[in-house]
Structure 1
């Protein structure tokens, strides 16, 4: 690992995470700024509500892909299996989340990082990533509430990482930090969930 590989992986992680796929979909497909529509988020859920299913699916896949690309690129740059290399990869993944939430191109107003977080997980531990996706889809099929499903999948993340058994400390730290970030981004949703005011998917209400 060269001296610049680690810092470079962090910069690239942030830049990849900051690709504003949802904002571009709003502009190109509906002529709107998603930051002024619906929930104000640039994530796939707000694209679904404001723009439509097709663009939302594309945005979801791009957001997942940029999270995976950030950690896989970091792994190539630091090129090693040492604990230090694992921490660089995890840090690049966290920077990808930061880029999605606070993209420099949009004045720091982005999405909630659920899809990008899934991408980071798939890039670091595909089995844990798929398990989290399973929790999300099961909850969504039962509740039809995207935010609740995102929160439950996020809460399951540290436990799933522990159950994996062979996860290095860096991966466990990622699980806890990613959980904290996503829960913090969903704090308004959590308040509405407690009050029973969070809308269900397809209600046409504010997500």
Structure 2
């Protein structure tokens, strides 16, 4: 079992190291997300190019990087704590990809993918929370941070045996957002939804 767990952790990291954002951007002829916009190779930054279908593909592929290894490990009867390590390995692969000079993203979509095997109710709560926070505040990073904070609470009521596993993943996501937290504190973070422009537009109307 120990060898199997180690193999799954390595496999999850290698799968996570495949940067969907970079590959899809090359396929669509878009700017490299590592040097465009926020510099984060993820779906949100690809969306900044204005190409929605490319962003959707990045989102789906990044989620699959988390779902597949965790689901495989669950199918192989690997325990909840080790599932967390496998999920974290997939996220670390996305954050520090072996195949892309260790310059990766925040792994929010990949972390969501690791939670999909817990059930669609959990996934729906996570997506709904992220969308509500984005709509309220306009910042993708803040929406991700708030969603990560409440994720362990959600899983506690749905499948409590996985609470520690999800809490570990949430801590990893929050730590990865340390630069965003600093920019949010100093009001230097770039919003996805510019609320000030919307307010100006509505006032003119």
TM over 0.5: yes
Partner of 2:84: 90
Query: Quick check: 1:155 aligned with 2:146?
Result: no
Q: What corresponds to 2:172 in structure 1?
A: 181
Q: CA deviation at 1:125?
A: 4.3
Match in the other structure for 1:99: 93
Partner of 1:48: 47
Aligned residues: 194
Contact 2:84 2:168 in 1 (8 A): no
In 2, Cα distance between equivalents of 1:187 and 1:91: 21
2:160 corresponds, among 167, 171, 175, to 167
Instruction: Report the equivalent of 1:120.
Output: 114
Q: Give the superposition deviation at 1:74.
A: 1.6
CA shift for structure 1 position 13: 1.1
Unaligned runs of 5+ in 2: 195-205
Write out per-residue CA displacement over residues 54-90 of structure 1, whole angstroms, 9 at most, x where no aligned residue: 10011001111121111011223xx22xxx6323322
Moved over 4 A (4+): none
RMSD over aligned Cα atoms: 1.9
Looking at structure 2, the residues matched to 3 and 26 of structure 1 have their Cα atoms a distance apart, in angstroms, of: 38
Cα contact 1:67–1:123 (8 A) shared by 2: no
Partner Cα distance (1:182, 1:86) in 2: 19
Give the corresponding residue for 1:14: 13
CA offsets per residue over residues 88-128 of structure 1, 9 Å max, x none? 32211111011111110011111100000000011234432
CA contact (8 A) 1:101 1:112 kept: yes
SS in structure 1 opposite 2:106? coil
Q: TM-score, normalised by structure 1?
A: 0.85
